[in-house]
Amino acid sequence: MTTLMTPPKESDTPNEPTRPPRDRRSKIGRWVLFFAMMVIAVVMLYPFWAMIVTSLKSEAQFLAGNGFSWLSWKGLSATIPIGQEVLSSTIVCSASILIILLVGLPAGFAFSKLRFRTSTAVFLVIVSAMMVPLQAILMPEFVNVTKLGLTGGYTGAILVYAALGTPFSVFLFTTYFRGVPDELIEAGIVDGLSYFGALWRLVVPIAVPAIATVTVLQFIQIWDDLLVGLLFIQNTSERPITVGLAVLAAGRTTSIPELMAGSLISALPAMVVYLGFQRYLVKGLTMGIDR
């Protein structure tokens, strides 16, 4: 006897779970995030665009509100020695950052890998120097540097910038080097390297993100600073570009287009350095913290 199989009823078939429209919600979220980032980009870039437009006008065109001209760029070099000031800022930044790296790298290696009795206390004292505002120590530093006779040229400003930037570099390198395996250092010591040899041959090549982070952050801070350059570089032929722009802005008759042109020249090096090393910044700031 043959029995026919009847198809199951719809009520007997298990219902498939209904999935929430996640794709639609994530797409909406991406569009909202994109719109928010566009608004932030416009707000951040509008002043830069206004500087470009203003610098491409003469004084008369700026007052009239129309027209474009290169007269402000031509007149800027006649008003202030813009090339010499850019060179002075480059010299001060390069020398200061070199000292900061030469001090911060060995100190960070020592605090992270070479433990001694008072290492924690000394490290906390150095890091606490980051909390002291520049304005609180500026005048005592000026008195000390003046007594040493170092306020005429670059030397006084370079030493002050190096002293201000070293605590941050020690902190960052110490945090970064804690993520370096101890076995790597021990292997180098077994192979005959000294601690300095292990630092320069083994640790420094893999510390490029941390070095780039210190370099970029200190370059932006030193390049854009005004107070130290104004006080410690009293030779007018060696003043940095920020001091030159301050002098230009303090004149009796200030050309706004020329000031905007000088501000663009001052802002471009910091932007180029940041954009060139930005891929190292996040890695350098976070590596070692989560280990």
**Which residue segment(s) compose the domain that 51 sits in?**
28-71
Gap between the Cα atoms of 2 and 228, Å rounded: 102
**What is the Cα–Cα distance from 245 to 46, expressed in whole angstroms?**
21
Q: 218, 165 in Cβ contact below 8 A?
A: yes
Tell me: do 184 and 77 sit in the same domain: yes
With respect to residue 16, please indicate whether it lies within any of the assigned structural domains. Answer: no
- CA dist 204 and 198 (Å) reads 9
Residue ending a domain, among 71, 99, 131, is 71
Give domain status of residue 214, yes or no. yes
Are residues 186 and 51 located together in one domain of the fold? no
Number of folded domains that form the chain? 2
Classify residue 18 by its DSSP letter: P
Say yes or no: 146 and 281 in one domain: yes
Task: Pick the last residue of a domain from 71, 88, 104.
Answer: 71
Q: Which CATH number covers residue 102?
A: 1.10.3720.10
Out of 71, 105, 134, pick the residue that ends a domain.
Answer: 71
pTM of the model: 0.81
Q: Considering only CA atoms, which of 241, 272, 269, 268 is closest in space to residue 76? A: 241
Q: Which two tokens stand for residue 124?
A: 């906390």
Judge whether 98 lies within some domain. yes
95 and 136 share one domain: yes
**Cβ neighbourhood burial of 258 (10 Å; 0-12, 13-18, 19+):** buried
Per-residue pLDDT of the chain (291 residues), as tens digits, is: 445 555 555 555 455 555 556 667 778 888 888 899 999 989 988 888 988 888 888 888 888 878 888 888 888 888 888 889 999 999 999 999 999 999 999 999 989 888 778 888 888 888 888 888 888 888 888 898 888 888 878 899 999 999 999 999 999 999 888 888 888 888 888 888 888 888 888 888 888 888 989 999 999 999 989 889 888 888 888 889 998 888 887 765 678 888 888 888 888 888 888 888 777 776 666 664 444
